[in-house]
Homo-oligomer: A and B are copies of this chain.
Amino acid sequence: MTGEFEAIERFRQLLPGPPAGETWIGDDAALVVAPRGGLLLAADLVVAGVHVDLDLVGLDDMGWKAMAVNVSDIAAMGGEPTHALVAVAAPPETDLHVVFRGIADAVEAYGCPVVGGDLSSGSQLVISVTIVGDAGNRPPVLRAGALPGDTIFVTGPVGGSAAGLRVLREGREDEAKELADAYRRPQARVSEGRAARRAGATAMVDVSDGLAADLRHLADQSGVGVVIDNVPVRDGATMDEALGGGEDYELVFTATNAGHVVAAFAETGLRQPIAIGRCTSDPNERRLGEGELPVAGWQHHWA
C-alpha cells in the first residue's frame, strides 16, 4: 500500500517504545515480557483481492493462509505457536464454513488452537489472525544479531509460491499441482525455526516478501553485509520468482558455527538447510554472485 512505511513510522512516533529486553514493531513477531513470562505475538491480515485472488484459490486456502503466515512469524523467532485468535469481516454471501475449514486444517497442522475472535459483516473478506507463541527460556532469534563471517542458510528452495501463482493463472494446476499447492497452502517452518534456534542461529526471518528483500531486512537490522553465492530455486520456478516472489515461508537464518546447524537438523530428522552465502563486515554490501542483490518484493509486515 502506498505510503505504508511512512504511515507506520509516523504511528511509531506516536507510541511508547519497548523497554529493555523486549522487541516490538519491526521484527517477525513481537517479544514481550508479560507479568508471567516471555511471549511472542504476531498479527497479520489477509485481504481478498489484495493478498489472495479468490478466482485462483479457495476460501479454505485463504483461511489456511491467514493462519500459516502468522504461524510463520512465530517460527521465524524460533518460537512455538500456542494460541490463535481469528477475526473475520465477510460479505454476507461468503460461505464461512469453507473459510473456517481451512483455518481448522491449520489449527490441526500446527497444533495451535483458535481460542477466540470475532465475526462481522464487511464489503470484502478480511481475515485477521493473531498468534501467541511461547518464547521459551532463552532469548528468541531476532532479525538483528547476524555477525560478520556467519553462514547464511535457507530451510528450503524458494520461488515455489510465485511459480504456483503463475501456474494457477495459466490454468495449469493439474500438471503442476505441487507448485500450485505451494501457493495455495504455504507451510510454516516451526520445527526448522526451533532447530535453528537450538543450533545457535544469530538472526532469522521468514521469506514472506521474497528472498532478496528478506535478506536485506536481516542485513539492515543486523548491520552486516551479505554475499550470496547460491540461490536454491524450487523445481519449476524461475530465478526471478526465487529472489522476488515471496510468500515461500522458508526461513533464512545466520549461524556462526555451521557444524552446529548440521547437527541440530540431523538430530530432529529435518531436511538439512541450504548454505547460500555469508555475512560480511561491510554493512552496505548486498552482493549476489558478481552483482548486486536485487531490491525486490513487497514489504507489508511490521511485526
- Report A's interface with B, CB cutoff 8 A: 1-4, 7-8, 10-11, 14-16, 18, 22, 24-25, 29-30, 32, 34-39, 41-45, 47, 49-51, 80, 82-83, 85-90, 92, 96-97, 100-101, 103-104, 107, 113-124, 126, 128, 130, 132, 134, 300-303
Known A36-B34, A107-B15, A130-B85; contact A44-B7, beta-carbon cutoff 8 A: no
Contact between chains at A43 and B87 (CB < 8 Å): yes
A92-B1 contact given A36-B34, A41-B115, A86-B43, CB 8 Å threshold: yes
Q: Give chain B nearest CB distance to A32 CB in angstroms.
A: 5
- Pick from B18, B37, B300: contact of A119, CB under 8 Å: B300
Cα distance A293–B106 when bound, in Å? 42
**B residues within 8 A CB of A25?**
114-117
The answer to whether B41 touches A85 (Cβ under 8 A) is yes
Measured in the bound complex, the distance between the Cα atoms of B1 and A290 in whole Å is 57
Complex copy number for this chain: 2
| Contact between B126 and A1, CB atoms less than 8 A apart | no
Evaluate contact between B118 and A30: CB separation under 8 angstroms.
no
Q: Tell me, rounded to whole Å, the shortest Cβ–Cβ distance linking A228 to chain B.
A: 28
Query: A10 and B303: CB pair below 8 A?
Result: no
The listed residue (B32, B92, B104, B114) touching A83 by CB distance below 8 A is B32
